[in-house]
Structure 1
Amino acid sequence: MLIKYLGHAAFLIRNVEGIRIITDPYSPTQGIHYKPIDENADIVTVSHEHWDHNAVDLVGGNPVVIRKEGERSVRGITITGIPTFHDKEGGKERGENTVFVFDIDGLRLCHLGDLGHKLNKEQISLIGRVDICLIPVGGYFTIDVKEAKEVIESLNPKVVIPMHFKTSSLDFPIAGVEDFLKGTERVKRLGSSEYEIEKDKSPLEREVIVLKPAKSS
């Protein structure tokens, strides 16, 4: 599996058969200065209907778009959406958020979208085993650093990839990734936007993989 960090909460994920998934495509407006997403995809997932996560029309390739909870199989990939919220008030402040779990190449990848609260037991059970967790760490609009680390402990993934953090291409009032990395063990800064992983070569202990946004301006 190839995981390419495009920027913000957008990733390009490609399986061994070349099926391409893009998560939460952003629109490069209103404080987002990442370059436009000029990628094709077979599948696009949208965690919630905010412009920085739902710019489906900017993705090429006529993809299948998945926006809600439930389980479905697309191009041989099982995708499960679990309902959560964008805030700590049951959605009253920022609405709903869908966590997506992908079964890809024998691994389970979880994209938490703009999760705004810690997960309850039912949500943890519905998410199930997680090998790779893509998690927001910037706070303000999402869980903060402390909550993100608690969510990681509750899901117990082998690989953690932080997202939705402050960069020079983003004007949002959120924290940078360094706040999350303080006190964190086994951090790998790859110096690139791409990370490859195979089922038989997964780390024995949890690793935090820091990727550079490919679309930085």
Structure 2
Amino acid sequence: MTARRIAAAAFMTACLALPAHAQNAPSTCHAIAEGIPKAQHASFSGQAPALLAALGREEVKITYAHHSTYVIESPAGVTIATDYSGYAGPLVPRVVTMNNAHSTHYTNVPDPGIETVLRGWNPDGGPARHQVTVDDTYIRNVPTDTRGYGGDIADGNSIFVFEIAGLCIGHLGHLHHLLTNEDFAELGRLDVVMVPVDGSWTLSQEGMAETVARLQSRIVLPMHRFAGPIERFLQRLPDFAVERRAERSLIVSMRSLPERPTIVVLDGV
């Protein structure tokens, strides 16, 4: 078993339940990325839940909706729609994240049934900062710049990180520049990452491949493709395996992560 999985397994056996919408919860991804045993830094409140080893209790479902919207479902049933522009399928998600590059990445009138709306930009200026826990899901963000119709927008994008069932899942949003060492440090470990591959409105395919290669996520989920061929992006990552699936959903857990970094192209992408 790799050091990554040993550290994650230690967290899963030690974790305690968090109250909904708790602020400033410790980050599993940061702790493991820094090589610090998570159990030594846990400061959760609440009662210890059953271990996640029960069938399905450690699994996360990720479904491609459209454009750059994925729907993530946690073991406790928390549903999250990324880059939500008003539609994420037939069900209303409990949580949505948004970026303000274009109207395909946000909406000013989210469904009133959505419990938590997280904007990747700060309407009052400066970077957005989110640290939110909803049941078994911890969500945080790393601000970056973005590109809009009028030019570059400082702090207009956020990379959202969803920490669920020991997994660290990232969504790069409308990233259009290379990340700094500080950005990578703030992101920490990402087991699964959703990346825009259009190569024009967002980061170039060469730059995106460089970013993905440095992240070394076990699963890479392309998005924001438009009509361009995806092969050019895939060819820039020759050390990654490629899986093309006929379904729109993927079920993943710490135990099912592939040993080799793998680009998974879901139906509809």
TM-score, normalised via structure 1 length: 0.83
Please report how far the alpha carbon of residue 105 of structure 1 lies from its aligned counterpart in structure 2 after TM superposition: 1.3
Q: Which has the larger radius of gyration?
A: 2
> Equivalents in 1 of 2:66, 2:168: separation in Å?
21
| Structure 1 residue matching 2:190: 3-state secondary structure | coil
> Equivalents in 2 of 1:139, 1:124: separation in Å?
21
Counterpart position of 1:142: 202
Of 144, 151, 157, which residue of structure 2 is paired with 1:93?
A: 151
Counterpart position of 2:188: 128
Q: Could you give the per-residue CA deviations for residues 20-79 of structure 1, whole angstroms, max 9, x where no partner exists?
A: 00001236xxxxxxx874331110011335210113645573231011333222233111
State the Cα RMSD in Å.
2.4
Please report how far the alpha carbon of residue 104 of structure 1 lies from its aligned counterpart in structure 2 after TM superposition: 0.9
> Which segment is superposed worse, 55-64 or 92-101?
55-64
| Structure 2 residue matching 1:94: 3-state secondary structure | strand
Matched, 1:210 2:269: no
Structure-to-structure mapping, 1:178-217, within 5 angstroms: 178-182=231-235, 184=238, 185-213=240-268
Counterpart position of 1:31: none
Matched, 1:21 2:88: no
Counterpart position of 1:3: 62
Counterpart position of 2:53: none
> Which segment is superposed worse, 186-195 or 42-51?
42-51
Of 84, 92, 95, which residue of structure 2 is paired with 1:43?
A: 95
**How high is the sequence identity, in percent, across the aligned residues?**
28
Matched, 1:107 2:107: no
Counterpart position of 2:226: 166
CA contact (8 A) 2:65 2:71 kept: yes
| Structure 1 residue matching 2:217: 3-state secondary structure | coil
CA contact (8 A) 2:97 2:117 kept: yes
Number of residue pairs aligned between Structure 1 and Structure 2: 198
> Equivalents in 2 of 1:61, 1:179: separation in Å?
40
> Equivalents in 1 of 2:257, 2:169: separation in Å?
12
CA contact (8 A) 2:69 2:83 kept: yes
Counterpart position of 1:30: none
Higher relative contact order (CA 8 A, sep 6+): 1
Q: Could you give the per-residue CA deviations for residues 152-178 of structure 1, whole angstroms, max 9, x where no partner exists?
A: 1221211101110014xxxxxxx3323
Distance change (3 Å), C-alpha of 1:82 and 1:125: same
Distance change (3 Å), C-alpha of 1:106 and 1:56: farther
Gaps of 5+ in 1: 28-34, 168-174
Q: Which amino acid aligns with 1:197?
A: V
Matched, 1:52 2:104: yes
| Structure 1 residue matching 2:138: 3-state secondary structure | strand
